[in-house]
Chains A and B, each alone.
Chain A
Amino acid sequence: MYKTRGITSVLAGALMATSAMAETELTVYTAVEAEDLARYAATFNESNPDIKINWVRDSTGIITAKLLAERDNPQADVVWGLAATSLLLLKSEGMLEAYAPEGVGELDQKFVDKDTPPAWVGMDAWVASVCYNTVEAEKAGLTPPKSWQDLTDPQYAGHVIMPNPNSSGTGFLDVSSWLQIFGEEGGWAYMDALHGNIARYTHSGSKPCKLAAAGEIPIGISFAFRGAKSKAAGAPLEIIVPTEGVGWDMEATAIVAGTANLEAAQKLVDFTVTKGASEMYNTGYAVVAYPGVAKPVEHFPEGLLEAMIDNDFEFAANNRAAILKEWQSRYDGKSDPK
C-alpha cells in the first residue's frame, strides 16, 4: 500500500512539474453503481487532488451505446467501470488508447487485456451462479442441482428462470460460457435441453435471483453477488456454483483514444490498478483484480474463484452478434408460455 502510494505521488509530482499546477478535469464514463461513485472519486483524490472527475453514469448497455455513438467525436476521457465485453467492442472500433499502467504486472493476468500494451485493465468480476430457493424446492420435491447438466433434468421443468441474453449482460455471459464449456454444438444442445425447463426469460440479470428469493420460481440463473444480497435480506436461498465452471465478466478501465488529457487519464488508470483500488472495489465485489486482496463477502459461495472459466472475451465479443441471432431464432420465437 505504502509503496504504491509512493510511486503514484512521485509520478504525480513529476507530471505536475510539466503540466503546471492547474486542476485537470476528466470526463469519466461509468456503469458502476451510483452510490459507489463518490467513494471512488474521493479515494482517487486522496493521491491525486489536482484531477477532478466528472462522472457520466448509466447502465452498461446505455453507456456502451453512448460511447459507440460518439465514435467520431469522443466526449469521454476515461471509461472506469464498464464490462470488458463492452470495452472489447470499443477496442474493435479503434476507440481505446493502449496503455500499460504502472504496476499492471502485479494484477491477476486474467484481468488484463492480452495485447501489449493492454487496451484495458480489469477491476473486479461478477460471476454467474444459480440461486436455489430451498423452501419452494422442497415443496415441489426437487433435489438441489450440482451442475449445469443437472438443470436439464425433467424434474426442474418450469422451475428454472434465466435472463434473456439479448437484453441482459448476465444472460449473455451464461450463454457464451456454455458455448465455451460444452463447445459450440454441445452448448446449443445443452441450451435446447435447458429451454424445456425454463419458465421464462427475464429482461434483467438480477431478476431471476430475486424471483427465486421470493419463491416465484425456485431456481434462478443469476450472479453470485445478487444471491448473496438476497440471502442477507433473509431469503431462504442456497447459492450453487455448478461444477462445470461458471461464466463471468469483469468491470474494466480504459483510456479513450483522442483524449486531450492523456496525462491525467494515465494517472487515473495507474490508480485503478493499485492494491488500494482493489481494496476499494472489494466492498461490493468478492472477486477483484489484485491477488490476495479480496476479503470474503458474507453469504458468498465457496470455490467461486476456482470455478471461474478461462473466459475468452475475444470469442464472446466477436461472436456476440451471431450468438444472439442464433439464440433468438431458437428460443425467442417460441413465445407461447408453458
Chain B
Amino acid sequence: MSVSSTELSQLPAGPNVKGKLSRDDLVMRGGMAVIALYLIVTLALPLYTMLSKSFSTYQVQLSQYEFQVSDEDGIYDGTIFTGTELNNTTGVYDHTDLSTGADGRLPVSKFFPDFSFRSSVMYQLRNTAEGGRFLVGSTLHDSTEWLEVDSNTFRRVQLRPVKARGIDNFVNYFSTPALFNSIKNSLWISLLSTVVTVSLAFWFAYALNRSCMRFKGLFRLVAMAPILVPSLLPGIALVYLFGNQGMLKELLFGASIYGPIGIVIGSVFFTFPHAFLIISTALAISDGRLYEAATSLRASPWRTFWTVTIPGARYGLISAAFVVFNLVITDFGLPKVIGGQFNVLAVDIYKQVIGQQNFEMGAVVSVILIIPAFFAFGIDRMVQSKQVSSLTARSVPFEPKPNSKTDSLFFVYCSIIGLFIIGMLAVCQFAALIKFWPYDLSLSLNNYQFDKMDGGGWGSYFNSIKLGLLTAVVGTSIVFFGAYLVEKSNGFLVGRAAFQMLAMLPMAIPGMVLGLAYIFFFNNPSNPMSGIYGTMAILVICSVTHFYTVSHLTAVTALKQMDREFESVSASLKQPTMKLFSRVTVPVCMPSVLDISIYLFVNAMTTVSAVVFLYSPKTSLASIAVLNMDDAGDIAPAAAMGMMIFYTNAAARIIHLIASKGLLAKTQAWRKR
C-alpha cells in the first residue's frame, strides 16, 4: 500500500484551472483602466507635480561668482575672491538670506566693508559657471566674461538666485510668523464652526425627525437652500448686515464682522445643509423598541436622550463633524470676503499665487493644507466603515408622539434657523436692487449691468451654465460608468481595490490645491496636454475630478442594490455586458444618475476654489465674477451675481424634480406591483 501512496504523491500536478477571460471581461477591464488613467492624469500626476514644486527653491550660489578689487588708481593686484570667501570673511549673509524666491536679489557692496560709492576704486566681477546671473541695475549679465564697473555702479550690482532643490521653502514658511500663524487660525476657526454647525444642525434634524411640529417639508427645503449659493454669498450678506454701514451693526456691540466672527457665522450658514443632511439620515433610522424599553424602565427623557438617541446617531454626528471641518478649513471664498486681516491657509495660497506669483510658497501652503483635510477625511472613512446597520428586520420604526409644548419649542427653534437662512439670502437680493447703499436707497437694476464691472460680465454667467451642464453630462457618464465597471466586473480584485482608492482621493483634496496642481501640471509647455490650459475643457475636467467622490459613492450605492444575477443572466443569454448596461442598469438606476447630475451641476455653478486659478478671460465664471467684483469693491453687483447663481440652481433643482418624476414614471414602473 505504501508503494501506491508514493505513486499518488508523485502524480503530476493537474492543470492550473483559470477562468477564461471573456471578451466582456476584457472590455470591462479596459474601460476601468481608461477611467483609472483619467483619475491618474487629472489627480495623481498633478498632485505629484505640485509636491515636487514645493521642494523647488531658489538659491544664490555665492561660489559661482568671482570678484576683483582695484586700488584707488584703478590697478588690480590680481587677487581673485569668490563670493563664498567674501561672505565667510565678512559674514554679512546667512543661509536664510541666500535661499530666496524666484524674484530674489542680493546686493554685493556689503562684501567690502570699506566700500564707498564715491571712491575711485574699480571692481570686476564675473560668473564662473554657465547659467550664473547677476544684474547691474536692471540689465542682466549671464556670461563668464569679466565685467569692470566703477564704485557708483557697483552698488547697483545684484546677484540673482538659480534653481535648486531642498526643504528651504518649508524652513522659510515656518520661520515667517505671518504665514504659519494661519495654521492655528485655520484650525480653530474650523473647530469652532464645526461645533456650532453640528449642534445647530442636530437640533434642527431632531425637530424634523423626532417631533410632530408643522411645516416640516418647508423647513427641510429652507435648510437646503445654502447649498445652492457660493460660499462667498454669506460673506457679502454679513457685510450688509454687520459692516460699518450695516443694517444691524449695533448687534455686534462694536466688534468687527471682518475676521473670525464673520468667518464662523458665514461658515455655519454654508455648511449647515451638509451637516443637517447627514445627521437627519442618522436620526431617521431608529428602533422604536429601544424607546419603549427606556420608557418601561422609567428612564427620564434626559437619560433616554443620552443613552439611546445620541449613541444611535453617533456615526452621523462624527461624520457630519468631519465633513463640516473639511468644508470650513478648505473654503476660500468666505474668508476672502469677510476675513479682514485674519489669515487662513486657503486664502494664503491665493495671496501667494495671485498676489505675489510665488508659486513655490503656494505649493508649500497647499501641502500643509492637505494634511488636516486628509486626516479629517481618513477618520471619516474609518468611522463610516465601522458603521453597522442598527436597523434589523425586527425593528419598529420610531413614531414621534405629539407634545404641544416641545413641538412648539422646536417650531420656534426651526423658525429662527429658517429666518437666519432666508434672511441672509434676502439681504443679498435687497442689496443687489439698491442703487447706491447707503446713500441712495432707491431701487434700480444698475447692479445687474455686469458688463460694466470687472469680473467677466454676463458672459461669465452663461459660461457658468455651460460649465455646469458640461460637468453634469461628462461627469455623470464617467462616474457612473466607472462605478459600474468597478462594482460589476469579475475577479481582478487588486485592480478594483486600487480603483476604489483612487475614486476616494478627490474628496480629501481641497479645491484650491487641485487648481494649483493643475497649473503646475497642465501649464507646462512640455506637457502634451498643455493645449487645454485656459479652455473650458480644463474647467470641466477639474470640476469632474473635484466632485468625483460623492458622485462615485452615490453611483456605487445605487449599483449595490442591483443583484449581480443580472450579469449572470445576461451572460448566459449571450448578451454583451454593454447592452445590459445601457438597456437595464442605466434605466434602473436613473434616479441616482439624475441625482449625480444635479449634484455636479450645482457644485460646478457654485465652486470658486477649484477654478480660481484656472479660468481665463474667455472662460470667466459667475462664481469667479462674484469674487472679482467683491475684490474690486463692487459689492452690490457681486451680491446680484451671487443671487443669479442661486436662482439658476433653484431652477435646475425644480427641473430636476420634474424630470425625475417623469422619468421615474417611465423607467421605474416595474417597481410597482
Contacts and interface: CB of A to CB of B under 8 A. Distances in A.
Interface in B545-562: none
A202 B243 CA distance: 15
B243 to A, nearest CB: 6
A333 B355 CA distance: 17
B543 interface: no
Given A73-B525, A318-B135, A321-B101, A64 B342 contact: no
Contacts of B101: 321
A234 B355 contact: no
Interface string A13-54: 000000000000000000000100000000000000000000
A91 B355 contact: no
A334 interface: yes
Contacts of A164: 351, 355
B206 interface: no
A69 B105 CA distance: 18
Interface string A156-197: 000000001011100000000000000000000000000000
A119 to B, nearest CB: 8
A232 to B, nearest CB: 12
Interface stretch (A122-130, A203-211, A259-267, A282-290): A203-211
B617 A57 contact: yes
B178 A115 contact: no
Contacts of A201: 341
B14 interface: no
A58 B355 contact: no
B259 interface: yes
Interface stretch (B73-81, B431-439, B488-496): B431-439
Interface stretch (B111-119, B137-145, B376-384, B590-598): B137-145
A34 B617 contact: yes
Interface string B514-526: 0000000001010
Given A68-B102, A92-B139, A214-B438, A58 B616 contact: yes
B497 interface: no
A275 interface: no
Interface string A315-338: 001111110100011001111111
A61 interface: yes
Contacts of A332: 178, 341, 343
Nearest to A220: B633
B336 A203 contact: yes
A216 B244 contact: yes
A112 B354 CA distance: 28
Contacts of A65: 357, 359
B437 A335 contact: no
A209 B355 contact: no
A62 interface: yes
A88 interface: yes
Interface of B is mostly: loop
A217 B244 CA distance: 7
Interface size class of A (residues with CB under 8 A): 35 or more
Contacts of B354: 61-62, 167
B128 to A, nearest CB: 19
Interface in B237-273: 239, 243-245, 256, 258-259
A209 B633 contact: yes
A167 B356 contact: yes
A61 B177 CA distance: 25
B138 A317 contact: yes
A91 B160 CA distance: 13
Contacts of B100: 321
Contact of A333 (B178, B244, B616): B178
A93 interface: yes
A337 B245 contact: no
B633 A207 contact: yes
B436 A235 contact: yes
B130 interface: no
A92 B633 contact: no
Contact of A314 (B137, B245, B340): B137
B357 A215 contact: no
A7 interface: no
Contact of B140 (A93, A206, A233, A338): A93
Contacts of A91: 138-140
Given A207-B632, A216-B245, A321-B104, A58 B138 contact: no
B635 interface: yes
A314 B156 contact: yes
Nearest to B344: A335
B103 interface: yes
Contact of A58 (B105, B176, B439, B617): B617
B388 to A, nearest CB: 45
Contact of A336 (B140, B342, B439): B342
Given A167-B356, A314-B138, 6 more contacts: A57-B617, A92-B138, A214-B245, A234-B436, A321-B104, A324-B356
